[in-house]
Amino acid sequence: MPVYHRPVSAARPRYAFHGSTLVMAPPAPPASPQRRERRPRNPYVRLFARPGTVGFTLGSLLARLPMGMFTVSAVLMIAGERGSYALAGAVTATGLAATALAGPLVARLVDRYGQARTALPATLLALLGSLTLVVCVRTHAPDWTLFAAYAATATTPNTGGMARARWAYLLRDDAAARHTANSFEQSADELCFMLGPVLATLLCTALFPEAGTLAGCGLLLAGTLLFHAQRSTEPPPAPRRGHAGPAPLRRPGMPALLLVFLATGAVFGALEVVTLAYADGAGHRAAAGVVLACQAAGSALAGLAFGALPPARSDRRRMAGCVAAMAALMTLPLLVSLTAPLPLLAGALLVAGMATAPTMVTGMALVQRLTPAGRLNEGMTLAVTALLAGIAAGSASGGWATEALGSAGWAYTVPLAAAASAAVLATLLAARPVAPG
């Protein structure tokens, strides 16, 4: 007789006939639960689990650190050797203007021909300009040579923008991870601008005036080589202009967004100059870098915390809220500077800086939405250019207010007014429909 099984419940014993004998069948093995892939809860751990991301991030940090060093180093070097802060300020302002003109052009070439193919020669040209500036200062060359040499540094590529473009390429199907990556990149920017001026001041004062510029050149070269060695994470170029999409400046909503960046840059520029003047007037000039670092530290911490939040349903509305918070917190430095000593001003700047990174992260997310994928570097560089223009205007306005108002404390009205203007512009942007990128 053939062997057969009775249909029985899985919870009861199983029996079977073997020949003419009824025997108990061995119990069926329990069904193994489906194994679930364990994913780390920390969004930053998941972010850097992807191959190549750690390498290009380290290179990006090294290459960005000199961005916070070069201006301070140039001012200290030129003022120390030539004895003129006016000349030093004019030279660095010329460099900012040249960067505003050359930056978008370099970014357009990066999008068209690829990051490594374009950024490496542009970096070498910028390094040549920095080294030429050192030689001209040391050899007491005519003043016009300082302007020409520092203007040549404008070809320095926007490494932060290229890093964000890599994240956008790697995480194109994961909006939450892109939000975390943008938050991390903004915190990295704040960290570099926090440590850069302190490091530059230390090198130029403890060693020799040219030490800050030379160290910045070494860091920029090493970071650029490491960054572009990670070829697997590099987004593909868009060689044909017609397939790269329309120019970012022609996208609906982009001009209004750039105005927000312009006003935000004015906040940064005015805040830096007014704080330097306030510390100098209080007899604590050496502590000015530490006080400014508090503002960047607050922004960096807020940026990391902001990256753990889910992405916004509307970047425009979140942008308006962040800029409004920045305007509200900008009242703290004004109030504290009029009534409290310098250490409390550092605390006020720490708190005020906490709105900076969320504002910039949301703004860069909007830039990515509005910019065609084939011209992403160009779009983000336009945002940086608007920031630089705002920083230059804010620096000039803050310096004028410090002298005209007779008090650096009252001059904190300039960054407050700039932040209020940015809030109005961001609110108007949120009220207008913006086409998705």
Which string of DSSP letters, residue by residue, matches 317-336? HHHHHHHHHHHHHTHHHHHH
DSSP 252: T
- Helix, coil or strand: residue 21: strand
**Encoded tokens for 359:** 């504002």
Q: Which helix (H) or strand (E) holds 29?
A: none
- Helix, coil or strand: residue 259: helix
Burial (Cβ within 10 Å: 0-12, 13-18, ≥19) of residue 254: buried
**Cα–Cα distance list, 304 to 184, 290, 311 (Å):** 6, 21, 14
Q: Which residues, in sequence order, are bridge partners of residue 18? A: 21
Burial (Cβ within 10 Å: 0-12, 13-18, ≥19) of residue 299: buried
* Contact criterion met (CB below 8 Å) for 212 and 73: yes
Q: Which helix (H) or strand (E) holds 83?
A: none
CATH superfamily entry for domain 51-237: MFS general substrate transporter like domains (1.20.1250.20)
* Contact criterion met (CB below 8 Å) for 315 and 437: no
Q: Which residues, in sequence order, are bridge partners of residue 21? A: 18
What are the residue boundaries of the structural domains of the chain, listed by start? 51-237, 244-437
Q: What is the pLDDT along the chain (437 residues), one digit of tens a residue?
A: 444 444 444 445 555 544 545 555 555 555 444 444 455 567 777 777 777 788 888 888 888 888 878 877 887 788 778 776 667 777 877 787 788 788 778 877 887 788 888 888 888 998 998 899 889 888 888 888 888 888 888 888 888 878 888 888 888 777 777 777 877 887 787 777 777 777 887 787 778 888 888 999 999 999 988 888 888 787 777 655 545 555 666 667 788 888 888 888 888 878 877 887 777 777 666 666 677 778 777 877 887 777 666 666 667 788 888 888 888 988 888 888 877 777 788 888 888 888 887 888 788 878 877 777 667 777 777 887 888 788 777 877 777 777 777 777 788 888 899 999 888 888 887 766 544 44
- 51-237 and 244-437 share one fold: yes
**Cα–Cα distance list, 197 to 78, 304, 434 (Å):** 16, 22, 38
Residue (of 200, 205, 210, 207) closest to 78 by Cα position: 210
To the nearest 10 degrees (0 to 180), the angle between helices 376-404 and 254-281 is 40
Q: Which helix (H) or strand (E) holds 234?
A: none
Amino acid at 63: A
Q: Which residues, in sequence order, are bridge partners of residue 5? A: 16
Name every residue whose Cβ is closer than 8 Å to that of residue 306 and which is 6 or more positions away in sequence. 183, 357, 358, 361
**Encoded tokens for 370:** 């509005």
* Contact criterion met (CB below 8 Å) for 119 and 237: no
Q: What is the CATH number of domain 244-437?
A: 1.20.1250.20
